[in-house]
Amino acid sequence: MKNTVKIGICALATAGLGAGAVAMASGEGTPTREQVRAESLLEGKVAGEPQQCIQLRRIRHTTVVDESTVLYRVNSRELYRASFDVPCGGLDNDTTLITDTNSTQLCTGDQVRVVENPTGRDLSTCAISSFTPFSAP
């Protein structure tokens, strides 16, 4: 059985905390609102050991940080940072992320497609390279 998960990415409000740290970490002078939002979501959480897979049914919200990073929130205390080895062209908050999998899990090596809204045109396909869990202590 093949599962297709479409995760719509919506624009997020700008948060004002930690902008300087994000800017320094990204090597840019001014962080994007997605980078600031990601820092806000990760604030106070502790990174765990990298995981091979996460359960699709647990994903409650998706936040695109940049073309190389996506955050999957599973509850208010836990999220996963998915990384791509190569930037996933066109991935931003105005696109849809589609996952085609034969499993109930999203795993490293799985392909995700970036689709343009509203045309449905494929922009890129990328493989997830890692999942890092973050949780509140």
Tens-place pLDDT, residues 36-82? 888 888 999 999 999 999 999 999 999 999 999 999 999 999 999 99
Calculate the average pLDDT of the chain. 81
Answer yes or no: is pLDDT of 12 > 90: no
State residue 74 phi and psi, 5-degree precision.
Answer: -105, -25
| Cα torsion through 112, 86, 134, 101, rounded to 10 | 20
pTM as predicted: 0.75
User: In which band, very low, low, confident or very high, does the pLDDT at 94 lie, cut at 50, 70 and 90?
Assistant: confident
Answer yes or no: is pLDDT of 20 > 90: no
pLDDT of residue 33: 83
Residue type, 114: V
Mean pLDDT confidence for 79-108: 91
Cα 128 to Cα 105: distance, rounded to the nearest angstrom:
13
pLDDT of residue 28: 57
Dig out the tokens for 40 from the structure. 């806000």
Across 45-60, b (16+ Cβ under 10 Å) vs e yields beeeeeeebbebeebe
